[in-house]
Every structure is written in C-alpha cells, then in structure tokens.
Chain A
C-alpha cells in the first residue's frame, strides 16, 4: 500500500491546480508524492478496515449512530484533506514585465512598510518579480509566492496558504477526532472481545488501533500547535522563524477575531487561472485633459522634481547627458519642442522608466517617492536641464523682446531663466527686467538662469530632501507660487499650463517668477536663507547647467573658499533640504567638475544632494558602472547577500523614491554631519575628523580618481573641519554605498557594520 503506488483517486494527486499559465512546468518528481500517498493510504485503508470489521458489531451492540458518527467524521476528514491538497493556497501570479520596469536593477532587496506602527520588511522575489506582500513567502518546493504562507505540507503535497489554511486546520481537527474515535471504538470492541482475540475481526481492530495510536501523537501535537497559532494570529512560518519572538505581531486582531478570520471569513479568491477579463473599453484619442486648478498648477510649477526626477526615463537622461557634453552653443530648438507640453509628454512618456543608478534606495513603502513620478517633474528637469541648451538662445531672444512672453516655447524655457534672473536681481520687477537683467549679470544669460535655480525648487536636489522637508519645501514653493496666483510658470506642466502661460500678460509672468523667488522667505525652510537670497551671489546652488561657463565655475570655486557665516549657519540647520537649496555660498563643488565626475563612467553614484543634475546624472553613471555586489535586487538572483543594508535610518531624511535618493541622501547627511562638526568644533580640526576622514576616504574611493579641484581636499582630509574642505566636501559627496563604508556614519551614534556581497562593508547607523 504505501510506497510509490498511488492508491485510489485521492492518493494520486496531479499537481495542484496552481500549475497554471504563470507557473513554469516542473519536472515530475515521484518522491514528492510518497508522503501524500502514504498518508492517503493509511487514512483510507485504516478507516475502511474499521468500518468493515469493527463497526458492524458496534452498530449491533450499541447503536447505529456509532458508524454514522464515524462516517460523518471520516467524510469531514476526507473533504478537508482534499481541499487542503488540491486547492490553490493563494499563489501570486508572476508580475508582468512592465511592473518590474519601474524598479530598477539596483533597487533595494527590501522595502519596508509600516503595518499598524510596526515596520515590516517586504523582500524582493526575483522569481516572481515583485516585492512580497507581508506574510507572503516563496515556496521553494512549489516555486511560487504564496499569500499568507504557512508552510509546505508534504502530507498533502501542497503549500498551506491563505486560501487553504482553513481546510488544513479543519483537517487536523477532524483527523484528531477521527483517530480518537477509531481508537476509542476499537478499544471498546476489544474490551468486549477479550475472549475472542483470535478472531480476524479482533486482529484487524487491534492493527487499526495500533496505526491510530501511532499517528495520534504527532497529529494531536500538530493540531495543538495550530490551535495556538490560530489563536495568536501567526503562521507556522512566522512562528518557526521567530519573527515575533519578544515582539509585537502586527497581524493579530485578538484571539476571537483571529479564529473567526480563519474559520468564518469568505473563501479568498484565487489569483491564477482566472478568466481573463477582456478589456471591452476602447481608449481612443483625442484625450481630454482635466481642468487644473491654479493651486495644482502652481504646485506643479514649483514642485521640484524630488521624486519625479527619480523616475526620469533613461532616454531623457541620456538626452540631457549628451546635451551636457556639448560645449558648443545649443542648436536651435527642435520643432517638437515648440509645443513643449505635447512633445515632452510623449517623449517622456515613451521612455522606459528610470535607469538604474548604482544604488537606489527605496525608503518606506508608503513613502511618496514612488508615486511622484510626475511627468511634471520630469518635464521640469528636462526643461531645466535638457533645455538649458536652448536657454541661452531663448534668453537672448527674450532679452531682445523684453515684454513679450506669450510665446510658449520661449516662456517655457524662459521661466527658469526668469526665475534665475529673479534670484539674481532680487527686486527686479517684471519679466522684462528679469530677463533683461540676466545678460547683465556676470556670466551672461546662463549664469542668470542658473542663479535663479538657487531658489527655484527644481534646481535644488530633491533627492536629498526628506519627504517631510521636501513636502515643506514644496509647500513653501506652492505658497510662493500661489501667492502670485498665476500660473504656471511651470514648464513642467502640460500644454494646458502652457496655454495658460501663453495667455498671461508678460508682467505677470515676470513678477511671478520673481516673486516666487522672493518669497521663499515665507517658508520656514527658506527663512535662514532669506538673507542670502537677497544678497546677489553669483553662482548658485543647485543649478547645473552643462553650459555653465568657465567664469561661473571659477566663481563657484571662489565661493568654495569663502564660506560665510550665514552659510555655516545654514549648514548647521537641521534641514538639509534648505541648506542645500537655499544657501548660496557654500557651494557644492564646481559644477563642471561635478559634471565631469558625473559623466565619468564610474561607480560613483549619488553625490551631495544639492544639485538637480544629480538625479539625472548618477543614473547615467550607474549605467556604465559595473554591477555592484550589493544587496539590491538583481534580475537573476534572489539570494540576499547579507542583512539588508538599507534599513531606514532615523538620522536620514527618508530617502525619496528611487534613484539617487539613498546616495544623495546619504551624501547630504554626511555633509550635514560635517557641517555640524565644523560648526561645533568651530573650524578646529580633529573632533569628528575621524568620521570625516572615513567619509572622505570613502568619497575618494568611490570617485575612483582624484578630481582635480577637489582632490586635495577630498583624498587627503588633512583638516576635515577646514572650511575649504568642508565646502568642498559636499561636492565630493559621491557615495558608493556599496563600495565604501556607508556614509551614514553617525558620529557617536550606533553604527552597525554590515558585510555585503563581495566583502564590502557598510556602516549603518542604527
């Protein structure tokens, strides 16, 4: 009976229904069926013998209710056994290709999500191509991710998951009852036949009793175990792996609710093998566009591409990269860009999702990062960066036509320029003034434009901003934007905004751009920077036009060496965001330097969080960089190289969305720490020098080669707190989270060293 023979229909289970389209066909492994065949054989065989040999006498002797009772219990056992065996446990279908594209090759292996206040990690399943929902686990036997995975039961040759746990539990309960019944009634039989033990009936009954007694102990034990699990609201997987040992189980609702959930909830639906719903809805252009409120438009205008940048498409980034490589004057605007709203949408929409950076950290699952992809942000960035090409020409044009703003293309491109001018000029009213003023500034139109970027959110580095800070900054931007009620000086918006932009009177446009720059002081984030803003400083933070002239870069160099008190105070402000964005003096390393670095096909990814190009460029770097042995997910393996190295760290602003957030946030954090050290130690060396040195080394290691202007300060941190180093450092904050020690080294804080794949060590502040 036992052994390889498949006894009866019950004992010959074909692969359970989950071997449907999305599960790959597995080779037939007869050994998988041994336990289930044995279980089936014992169950059916013993019960049949019991009914044949023991029950007739019992029904005569006592009542017919005995076999009926046993029959009912046995039916229950078989029904639950079949359901547990053949029912789809809750297998997730493999994720589609498109869903995966959003995540990149180097997104983290784990994503955390908060469930009732408790952080739960979701692991990336490389087989199924999604982040496993909480309580989901991948069964290696079945090669499927199963929802609410309990365990893989060999006796039923099936996973026990959400859908069939109830049947498994009831199977255990009923089997225990059945065993007890069979044993009990067999004992009764024997007790009445002590004189006739040589009868066949007695012998069979005794054999059945032995089998029953033998199986009673493990089955009862397992039943008791599962009763406790159900009462506690845990799965076997969680219990055995000790997930909630000493901790709180976020999935429990109390004993009663847990039990009722297992037993009384409606049968969960299967995900595989469903009838494909044909999309009978046809989507035909032309498409309507929603009417955008002013607030929305203003938000769009001023919303820096914090998360949107992270999702920028590869092609758009490449476009920008190529543009940035250009040293020549920009070509005339392409025809498609005359209708920026349309063309940008299509070009941006068409592109594949963001390129992999070396290390994109995805913060808490519920963080806004991922969902803020925003074409708007993409537009903003594309326009600000990609179109910087066109900038100079448009600026020149606009300067020739001071008051004329109604041309969408010019407006779109000019807007940043206007803002740039505003940033520079401060009080200059009107667009004409802003634009006209731009050329008047040192460095010509471009610097003017770039200066504007200082307070223009899109030029800041949103990746560095925490969602909170980012939100704050965004809200401040919105406030300043909405103060002008105008619209949309946003090149990031759709053609509707362009239309509205075009329809506006020039002065409004101009004043809008100016005022939005002037009013950053409204926001708390900007307040410390307000004095700086008013002071016309030449090079600006955050703007990274590839066309930054040498003059400008020199100006930046100068800035580097002249940290002002205000900048230090800014730096020491806890808000990295506005430190990076608003401080005009402590510049990040000269832009051309950075660009060169960025364009360097190096591992260095992420960098100081102050420049917009950061989100655009690092991905390019990472594209050319060799794959890291980091615990981010790869396309092929699922093995975590080690403990997750990207737990959300409290000192950080939770990195936003994808892309550079981790590295730039880390870089920003590092800068922040350095600044604090600097300010704390009043410029004296030592102190946090150790940490800084480590960080500096990490930078230089990451960068791979010493960079010209910053190499001295970068690779040899002689005096980490030296202002020059201090200001230079941020620019150098290329962090290779995988390469080097984690930049999240917190002086004096708990630091956990984690070894990643390839032997790299990370320091994670805990």
Chain B
C-alpha cells in the first residue's frame, strides 16, 4: 500500500475496527468444529488459504481433544478409582489439548495475523461458540491522507 507507506512518518496506532465471528460448524453434530469458510470481511486482509489452514488445524486440534479412545478411558477409570481426587493434581486430556490450542493461536497471531492487523481470540474464551477475529485498522495520527 503505497499510500499507507507514504504516511509512515506519522504516528501509527492500531484501533479495533471491527470483529468477525466465525461460527461453529454443526454439520457433523455437536463436536467442536468451526466453519472453515472464509469470511468476506477478511477478504482484503488475509490470504484465504492461510485462514482456512488455520481453521482446519484448529478443528483438528479440537477433534483430538474430544477423541474418545484408550487414553480418555483410562483417565476416566483412574479418576473414578481415586474418587476424582486425581483431578486436583492431574490435568485432563482436554485441558492439555486446550493448552496446545492456546499456544497454536498465539503463534498464529504472532506470526501471521498480527502483521496483517488481525487478532484471533481463543474460542474457549467465548465458550467454544465462535472464533472471534478482531480487525484492526491503522489509524494514523497527524496530517495525512
């Protein structure tokens, strides 16, 4: 953006311009899955491929968290046998994956979205209902434009 760069000598501030909400995809039931469709508000802000890739990875992580397998079963049995006191010391599988997801989102924000003026919010903060994407705009202070 040549125009913007010309104005770089002005003081830049990022201001929240709007928020985009990516809703859950309930096509496969109540499993935690977010729509990977590219929201049109982001068309000019981020690469579609990149965004879809992020969402797909997120979905995969949630699928891993909710996976019912040997590990979760053993965890349940152990919890039962210890009268659930084990939860005081041990982290559940889901929580472990949630931490992984938080790290992933942070990394994505740092590497990809913040430079584009976007910020992904961890959906767990919204009750796993939406992925909130905050769109920032460049508010240059000073004479310009």
Q: Report the minimum CB–CB distance from B91 to chain A (whole Å).
A: 10
Contacting A269 at CB < 8 Å: which of B43, B87, B98, B114?
B98
Encoded as 1 (CB less than 8 Å from any B CB) or 0, chain A from 88 to 108 comes to: 000011011011001000000
Assuming the A-B contacts A264-B73, A281-B119, are A116 and B27 also in contact, with contact meaning beta carbons closer than 8 angstroms in the complex? Answer: yes
CB pair B76–A263 under 8 Å, yes or no, is yes
Tell me the complex Cα distance, A567–B37, Å: 36
A284 at the interface (CB under 8 A from B): yes
CB pair A120–B139 under 8 Å, yes or no, is no
Assuming the A-B contacts A99-B126, A265-B68, are A365 and B115 also in contact, with contact meaning beta carbons closer than 8 angstroms in the complex? Answer: no
Instruction: Note all chain A residues with C-beta closer than 8 A to B125.
Output: 93, 274, 276-277
Q: Report the minimum CB–CB distance from A501 to chain B (whole Å).
A: 13
Assuming the A-B contacts A263-B76, A268-B94, A285-B136, are A148 and B30 also in contact, with contact meaning beta carbons closer than 8 angstroms in the complex? Answer: yes
Instruction: Note all chain B residues with C-beta closer than 8 A to A276.
Output: 125
Q: Which of B5, B13, B43 has the most CB of A within 10 A?
A: B43
CB pair B30–A307 under 8 Å, yes or no, is no
Tell me the complex Cα distance, A484–B94, Å: 51
Q: Report the minimum CB–CB distance from B83 to chain A (whole Å).
A: 4
Instruction: Note all chain A residues with C-beta closer than 8 A to B95.
Output: 267, 269
CB pair A264–B39 under 8 Å, yes or no, is no
Encoded as 1 (CB less than 8 Å from any B CB) or 0, chain A from 324 to 358 comes to: 00000000000110110111011001100100000
Tell me the complex Cα distance, A353–B19, Å: 9
Stretch at the interface among A127-135, A196-204, A546-554: A127-135
CB pair A289–B44 under 8 Å, yes or no, is yes
Instruction: Note all chain B residues with C-beta closer than 8 A to A137.
Output: none
Q: Report the minimum CB–CB distance from B49 to chain A (whole Å).
A: 10
CB pair B116–A284 under 8 Å, yes or no, is no
Instruction: Note all chain B residues with C-beta closer than 8 A to A602.
Output: none
CB pair B17–A346 under 8 Å, yes or no, is yes
A157 at the interface (CB under 8 A from B): no
Contacting B115 at CB < 8 Å: which of A271, A288, A342, A350?
A288
CB pair B30–A266 under 8 Å, yes or no, is no
Tell me the complex Cα distance, A269–B93, Å: 10
Assuming the A-B contacts A296-B43, A349-B18, A366-B35, are A343 and B68 also in contact, with contact meaning beta carbons closer than 8 angstroms in the complex? Answer: no
Tell me the complex Cα distance, A496–B1, Å: 6
CB pair A133–B24 under 8 Å, yes or no, is yes
A636 at the interface (CB under 8 A from B): no
Instruction: Note all chain A residues with C-beta closer than 8 A to B38.
Output: 371
Encoded as 1 (CB less than 8 Å from any B CB) or 0, chain A from 263 to 297 comes to: 11111110100101101111111111111100010
Tell me the complex Cα distance, A274–B123, Å: 12
CB pair A99–B43 under 8 Å, yes or no, is no
Tell me the complex Cα distance, A307–B37, Å: 14
CB pair A372–B106 under 8 Å, yes or no, is no
Q: Which of A265, A276, A292, A296 has the most CB of B within 10 A?
A: A265
Question: Contact residue range for chain B?
Answer: 35 or more
Assuming the A-B contacts A264-B73, A269-B94, A283-B117, are A99 and B19 also in contact, with contact meaning beta carbons closer than 8 angstroms in the complex? Answer: yes
Instruction: Note all chain A residues with C-beta closer than 8 A to B29.
Output: 115-116, 250-251, 253
CB pair B129–A287 under 8 Å, yes or no, is no
List residues 115-145 of chain B with CB under 8 A from any CB of chain A. 115-119, 122, 124-130, 132, 135-140, 145
CB pair A371–B72 under 8 Å, yes or no, is no
Q: Report the minimum CB–CB distance from A186 to chain B (whole Å).
A: 25
B92 at the interface (CB under 8 A from A): yes
CB pair B139–A133 under 8 Å, yes or no, is no
Encoded as 1 (CB less than 8 Å from any A CB) or 0, chain B from 1 to 35 comes to: 11111001000111001111111111111100001
A114 at the interface (CB under 8 A from B): yes
Assuming the A-B contacts A265-B68, A266-B92, A290-B45, are A283 and B114 also in contact, with contact meaning beta carbons closer than 8 angstroms in the complex? Answer: yes
Instruction: Note all chain A residues with C-beta closer than 8 A to B19.
Output: 98-99, 102
A373 at the interface (CB under 8 A from B): yes
Contacting A283 at CB < 8 Å: which of B39, B119, B128?
B119
Stretch at the interface among A61-69, A75-83, A210-218, A429-437: A75-83
Q: What is the chain B residue whose CB lies nearest that of A148? A: B30
Q: Report the minimum CB–CB distance from A4 to chain B (whole Å).
A: 29
CB pair B106–A280 under 8 Å, yes or no, is yes
Contacting B72 at CB < 8 Å: which of A79, A265, A274, A494?
A265
CB pair A284–B12 under 8 Å, yes or no, is yes
Assuming the A-B contacts A251-B29, A495-B3, are A75 and B83 also in contact, with contact meaning beta carbons closer than 8 angstroms in the complex? Answer: yes
CB pair B92–A285 under 8 Å, yes or no, is no
CB pair B116–A365 under 8 Å, yes or no, is no
Stretch at the interface among A240-248, A374-382, A577-585: A374-382
CB pair B43–A115 under 8 Å, yes or no, is no
CB pair A345–B114 under 8 Å, yes or no, is no
Tell me the complex Cα distance, A374–B40, Å: 4
Assuming the A-B contacts A98-B19, A345-B44, A375-B44, are A366 and B25 also in contact, with contact meaning beta carbons closer than 8 angstroms in the complex? Answer: yes
A476 at the interface (CB under 8 A from B): no
CB pair B44–A376 under 8 Å, yes or no, is yes
Encoded as 1 (CB less than 8 Å from any A CB) or 0, chain B from 45 to 68 comes to: 111101000000000000001111
Instruction: Note all chain A residues with C-beta closer than 8 A to B67.
Output: 266
CB pair B43–A374 under 8 Å, yes or no, is yes
CB pair A349–B135 under 8 Å, yes or no, is yes
Tell me the complex Cα distance, A78–B85, Å: 12
A635 at the interface (CB under 8 A from B): no
Instruction: Note all chain B residues with C-beta closer than 8 A to A95.
Output: 126, 129
Tell me the complex Cα distance, A493–B71, Å: 49
Tell me the complex Cα distance, A271–B127, Å: 5
Q: Report the minimum CB–CB distance from A230 to chain B (whole Å).
A: 14
CB pair B139–A346 under 8 Å, yes or no, is yes
Tell me the complex Cα distance, A495–B106, Å: 29
Q: Report the minimum CB–CB distance from A263 to chain B (whole Å).
A: 7
Contacting B84 at CB < 8 Å: which of A79, A250, A287?
A79
CB pair B1–A113 under 8 Å, yes or no, is no
Q: Report the minimum CB–CB distance from A303 to chain B (whole Å).
A: 8
Assuming the A-B contacts A148-B30, A269-B98, A375-B43, are A281 and B109 also in contact, with contact meaning beta carbons closer than 8 angstroms in the complex? Answer: yes
Tell me the complex Cα distance, A729–B28, Å: 43
Tell me the complex Cα distance, A365–B37, Å: 13
Q: Report the minimum CB–CB distance from A262 to chain B (whole Å).
A: 10
CB pair A495–B4 under 8 Å, yes or no, is yes
CB pair A349–B30 under 8 Å, yes or no, is no
CB pair A289–B45 under 8 Å, yes or no, is yes
Instruction: Note all chain A residues with C-beta closer than 8 A to B39.
Output: 371-373
CB pair A269–B124 under 8 Å, yes or no, is yes
Q: Which of A75, A78, A250, A371 has the most CB of B within 10 A?
A: A371
Q: Report the minimum CB–CB distance from B116 to chain A (whole Å).
A: 5
Instruction: Note all chain B residues with C-beta closer than 8 A to A269.
Output: 92, 94-95, 98, 124
CB pair A264–B72 under 8 Å, yes or no, is yes
Contacting A274 at CB < 8 Å: which of B12, B83, B114, B124?
B124
Q: Which of B3, B26, B125, B127 has the most CB of A within 10 A?
A: B127
Assuming the A-B contacts A286-B5, A289-B45, A346-B17, are A266 and B27 also in contact, with contact meaning beta carbons closer than 8 angstroms in the complex? Answer: no
CB pair A135–B8 under 8 Å, yes or no, is no
Assuming the A-B contacts A266-B92, A368-B37, are A341 and B83 also in contact, with contact meaning beta carbons closer than 8 angstroms in the complex? Answer: no
CB pair B138–A287 under 8 Å, yes or no, is yes
Q: What is the chain A residue whose CB lies nearest that of B24? A: A133
A370 at the interface (CB under 8 A from B): yes
Instruction: Note all chain B residues with C-beta closer than 8 A to A166.
Output: 76
Instruction: Note all chain B residues with C-beta closer than 8 A to A496.
Output: 1, 44
List residues 450-490 of chain A with CB under 8 A from any CB of chain B. none
With A342-B3, A366-B26 already in contact, 6 other A-B pairs whose C-beta atoms are closer than 8 Å: A76-B83, A266-B65, A266-B72, A287-B14, A371-B22, A376-B44
Task: Report 26 cross-chain contacts, Cβ distance below 8 Å, ordered by A residue.
Answer: A95-B126, A96-B126, A98-B132, A116-B28, A260-B68, A263-B76, A264-B76, A269-B92, A277-B125, A279-B119, A283-B119, A285-B138, A285-B140, A286-B12, A289-B44, A290-B45, A336-B145, A346-B137, A346-B138, A349-B137, A366-B27, A371-B22, A373-B39, A376-B40, A499-B1, A499-B2
The 3 closest A-B pairs by CB, nearest first: A349-B17, A287-B117, A374-B40
